[in-house]
Amino acid sequence: MDTDAACVWTFILYMVCLEKVISAETVIEYSEDNKPCTYFEGTRRAKYEPGLVNCSWYSSSSCCKRTEVTSVFASNMMPLYRASVDCRNRINYMMCYFCSPDQFHWYKEGKVHVCESFCASIHIECREAFYNGKQIGDAYRNGTAFCEAQNFLVTNSKSCFKFDANVFDASPPVHISLQMLSGALVTVTLARTMILSVV
């Protein structure tokens, strides 16, 4: 077999494999700028949204608009008192859920499906803090109770809404590099493996 033929066969095998992987395990396949915004009932797709003041880490691909963030954060003028930075960051992140371009993974049946671990970490970091007038450590037995009071559904499933501390770090977050691949087809499989194939 000459080199060309070998290449062709390798390519065909690769395509067959890829198709098997995709049909067997793929949940969803969307390019970075085409993710459906389930909070907005799928009438929107995530897109570049400059000037997000509070949920700024979603600017490169966002389901919310600048004005929506402003009104959510303004109506909760002072939701938090006596909060540590770790607490504040978590509450801030939680409040920005409707901006996430990945909400189609965990905003289902009209509810945020939040990871139990995220709720637990809020309960730990925010024990002393007051949120909407209640001291979190006193008012809620555990993180699950706190999240349920926000009308979230608490779960341990693989695709739940979880905290990403990277967005508050001074160093550029990892997802910046992913954003460079926009236009590429991003395939997320259940096994949490990611196949990036440029089409």
Ligand X SMILES: *[C@@H]1O[C@H](CO)[C@@H](O)[C@H](O)[C@H]1NC(C)=O
* Nearest distance from C-beta of residue 37 to ligand X, angstroms: 21
Are 160 and 114 spatial neighbours (Cβ–Cβ below 8 Å)? yes
Dihedral sign of CA atoms 105, 125, 154, 131 in order: negative
* Nearest distance from C-beta of residue 129 to ligand X, angstroms: 12
DSSP track, 8-36: HHHHHHHHHHHHHHHHHHEEEEEETT--B
Give whichever of 54 and 59 is closer to ligand X, judged by the CB atom: 54
What are the tokens at 87?
A: 């607490």
Give whichever of 145 and 195 is closer to ligand X, judged by the CB atom: 145
Residues constituting the chain:
199
* Nearest distance from C-beta of residue 91 to ligand X, angstroms: 8
Give whichever of 79 and 173 is closer to ligand X, judged by the CB atom: 79
* Nearest distance from C-beta of residue 73 to ligand X, angstroms: 5
The Cα diameter of the chain in Å comes to 75
Residue 174: which residues within 8 A CB-CB, separation 6 or more? 166
* Nearest distance from C-beta of residue 111 to ligand X, angstroms: 18
What are the tokens at 82?
A: 């006596």
Give whichever of 54 and 189 is closer to ligand X, judged by the CB atom: 54
Give whichever of 30 and 73 is closer to ligand X, judged by the CB atom: 73
Cα separation of 16 and 132, whole Å? 54
For residue 47, the 8-state DSSP code is B
- The residues that touch ligand X, with contacts defined as CB under 6 A, are 53-54, 73, 92, 116, 141-142, 144-145
